[in-house]
Amino acid sequence: MATIKWGIISTAKIAREHVIPGIQQGQYSEIYAIASREKESAVNVAEQLSIPVAYGSYEELLADPAVQAVYNPLPNHLHVEWSIKAAEAGKHVLCEKPLGVDAQDAEKLVNVCRERGVLLMEAFMYRTHPQWVMAKEYVTSGKIGELKAIQVFFSYMNRDPNNIRNRGDLAGSGGLMDIGCYPVSLSRFIFGVEPRRVMALVNRDPEMKTDIFSSAILEFERGHATFTCSTQLMPYQRVNILGTEGRFEIEIPFNAPENRSTNVYYFSSDGAETRQIAPCHQYQIEVDLFSKAILDGTALPTPPEDAVANMRVLDALFRSEKSQNWETV
């Protein structure tokens, strides 16, 4: 079977722990090369994860004609710069979320990829996990009645000042960009339209200056999405989707484990139903769908314009932080 040869820009944790193993288990994907700013790091990770080629610079990986698709898990402020370089080298790009530091930044990348004729997708792996495919199906088939409300909680504890999320000096750091982007994305995905206006309450760390605890309301034409996200709170994640006739709850909406089943719950006037989702590797599903789109032209699960639309909502949330008021998207 034909496979796509993947090159990884950097030895990022997410690449080492989830995405490279996902590529290795993929049907249409093959791990080929990894690059790091330090040759030694690239060589070490290549040895540990059985990656054939290791480069001591991102440029060298992009210059290798054998690399067909690039996965970009750099810190957020480098997503657009290096994804553009990859596109200009003729590589298809799977880029980590959020696609850019703001909508304008993300749009620049989308335009370059369109001009160069390469595929681009924001790596929101949750969207193609079967539990989310099921959630969307329950909503569109009317099983919860008329969709009215989405409630999301996403938090973890990380006070390490050297972590890229806590580097207030870097554009794109902070909790809203790191995990607030998920509730924004899933609310748009489930409602199937863009929110009209948003309001955010944002708390920042006094030293690091990054946003660490935020709550927001997104007003859609037919309902509301609300969320709280925090990078300095007890770890927790949960999503509830409520309609006039039912409720759909996802127990582990974002970090669904690879080695055990997960539960979703459906409640209606007929009673409660637990659906167990068999273990699956959401990163493998993501990279394989991307590889398949390159190989046979099937549509990407999410078009790149979706990433720009997501950033527009995040931009509006940051404007709301400043104005202390509703902001249109």
Closest CB 204 distance from ligand NAP, rounded Å: 19
Least distance to ligand NAP from the beta carbon of 160, Å?
Answer: 10
- Cβ atoms of residues 327 and 316 within 8 Å: yes
Binding ligand NAP (rule: CB under 6 A), the pick from 36, 228, 231, 302 is: 36
* C-alpha to C-alpha distance for 306 and 304, rounded to whole angstroms: 5
The Cα-based distances of 181 to 10, 51, 173, 313 in angstroms read 22, 31, 12, 9
Do the Cβ atoms of 226 and 217 come closer than 8 Å?
Answer: yes
Piece of the chain touching ligand NAP by CB under 6 A; list 9-17, 133-141, 196-204, 222-230: 9-17
Q: Can residue 73 be called a binding residue for ligand NAP (CB under 6 A)?
A: yes
The answer to whether 311 touches 102, Cβ cutoff 8 Å, is: yes
Say if CB 36 and CB 47 are below 8 A apart. Answer: no
Looking at the Cβ atoms of 14 and 149, the one nearer to ligand NAP is 14
> Is residue 105 at the binding interface for ligand NAP, with CB under 6 A as the rule?
no
Q: Is 183 one of the binding residues for ligand NAP (CB under 6 A)?
A: no
Applying CB under 6 A, among 102, 105, 122, 178 the residue interacting with ligand NAP is: 178
**Per-residue binding letters, 115-154, with ligand NAP (x by CB under 6 A):** --------x-x-----------------------------
Type of residue found at 39: K
Kind plus residue range of the DSSP H or E element containing 102: none
Stretch that binds ligand NAP, among 30-38, 213-221, 225-233, 305-313 (CB under 6 A): 30-38
SS3 of residue 153 by DSSP: strand
Per rule CB under 6 A, is residue 76 in the interface with ligand NAP? yes
Closest CA to 62 of 105, 93, 22: 93
Does residue 203 touch ligand NAP according to CB under 6 A? no
Residue 232 or 268: the one with the smaller Cβ distance to ligand NAP is 232
Those residues with Cβ within 8 angstroms of residue 112's Cβ, 6 or more apart along the chain or in another chain: 84, 87, 88
Residues near ligand NAP (CB under 6 A) are 10-14, 36-38, 41, 73-76, 78, 96-97, 123, 125, 164, 178
